[in-house]
Each structure stands twice: as C-alpha cells, then as structure tokens.
Amino acid sequence: MNPEEYGRMHDLETHYWWFVGRRAIISTLLREAVAQNDAINHRGAGLRLLDLGCGTGANLPMLRESAGARGWVTALDFSPHALRFARDHLGAEQISLAQGDALHLPFADDSFDVVTMFDVLEHLSDDSRALGEVRRVLRPGGALVLSVPAYQQLWSAHDEALHHFRRYEYRGLDHLLRVEGFQVWRLSFAMSMMPPIAWLWRRCVLPFKPRRPRDATRHSEGAVLPAVPLAMNQALVKYLEMEGRVIARRPLKFGTSLVTVAFRK
C-alpha cells in the first residue's frame, strides 16, 4: 500500500463507523471466547495475545484491555510504514511491535493464548499456510479471532485496490479452519445491513469512479469509504455494537463480513 494511504487509514480507523463497529463486534467475541474457554481463562489476567496484520494500530488499546492487567500484546505487520503509525496507539506498557511475515511467523511454538486477524487473511497468498502458522504459535486450546470479507460474488475493484486474493464463503471458511486443526466455536456473518448497499455501490457506482482520486470521498487506492454525516456515523456504530451482542448468542445469516472464533485442537 502507498505510504500516504496508511496516513488516511490512520485518520479513519479511530472514528469511521465501519472500523469502530467492527472493533465493537470483535471485542464482544473476544470477551466471550476468553470467558468460555478454560484453557485461556485459567490464565486469569495474564493473556499473551498476538495481533497479526495490526496495520496502523487502532485496535491495540482494545486488545490491550482484553489481555488483562498482567497480559501482553504483540502486534505484527509486514509494513514498516504501518508500524510507524501503530506507535501512536501504544500508550501504556505491555504492547510490543514487530515487523514480519504472517506466512513465516518469527515466534516459537505455543507462544500465545490468543491470535487475532482482522481482515488480514484475504491479503495472504496462501491462507492455509497462514492458518498453519497461527496454529503453531497458539498454545493448545488457544483462540483464533478472525474477520474476513464475505461473498466472492461481491468481488470488485474495491478488492483489487486493497490487494485481496479472495473473499470467503461461510462453508468454505468453516472447512478451511477445520482442515487446519481448529475447532470452530462461533462463525457468523457480520455487517448485516450492508449486502444490498455493497452490491449496488460496487456494480452501479464504483466502476465509474476514478481509480485513485484524492478527494473527500476517502478513497484508499480505489477502496471507497464514503463520508457520512456525524449522526449517521454514530447510529451505524450503535447498530454494529448491537449486532456484536447478537452474534455472541447466535450467528447471523447474511452480511458482507464473516467473523469467527476457533480454538486450537
């Protein structure tokens, strides 16, 4: 990604509804996963958590809180440009940054209680190998908390601009996780209000947009994040917070994202 785009992403991730709402959903799932799993829960306030593909780091404060008072968060990204922005979110101690490749993780076996990957797996050329690496560095019974874009039929210039290799189907992701040695505990669609909007936008609007504009519509190399009024932004965040609470109880049947919690067997 162009270094300028990391700056744009950094500016958006702390307040734009999509990022804030996704963070709320993931936070709820992560809290439920820790509470439900004895292999993690017995560690009390001392979880070791790895965030793969941390980007510009907006999720780090939430992850630090989830790790507990004596926990530690390690945030890894392939891009040194992203990590420079991530330093802005370090704040307290007990967070470390590392540069590395998700296909060749620079960590020992059985090093972490939780691994998080938020819209990262679709960027990797070999998702099976990446999940194998995640399983290797997780302790037995450890949790993977994952989000990916859903529905291959929604593939568009948006995905190409973000350097995606694929979008995921529900059954395909479930099968992939099980083949790679995970027990799927929660698997649900998310962003449930988005499928018709995304389809119309990508089929009827995005093809006619310039590839790399630099204007108020907030493009990121063609990835469109349309500006919304403050009141609408806040309403969408509230909706997604509610959606996270629903997903913690039962899976949703549709949405433009898939979220999952899976435990290492």
pTM: 0.86
- Residues whose CB is less than 8 angstroms from the CB of residue 22 and which lie 6 or more positions away in sequence, other chains included: 118, 119, 147, 190, 191, 240, 257
- Residues whose CB is less than 8 angstroms from the CB of residue 30 and which lie 6 or more positions away in sequence, other chains included: 63, 66, 114, 116, 143, 145, 261
> Tokens 């070791």 belong to which residue?
48
Q: Which fold has domain 3-264?
A: Rossmann fold (3.40.50)
Interval 241-258: pLDDT, tens:
999 999 999 999 999 999
Mean pLDDT of 117-146: 96
pLDDT at residue 220, as a whole number? 43
Interval 70-109: pLDDT, tens:
889 999 999 998 999 898 877 667 899 999 999 999 999 9
Backbone angles phi and psi of 46, in degrees to 5: -125, 45
Cα–chain center distance at 21: 11
How much is the mean pLDDT over the chain?
Answer: 86
pLDDT at residue 206, as a whole number? 55
Dig out the tokens for 34 from the structure.
Answer: 């820790």
Query: Residues of the chain with pLDDT > 90: what percent?
Result: 62
**Spans of all domains in the chain:** 3-264
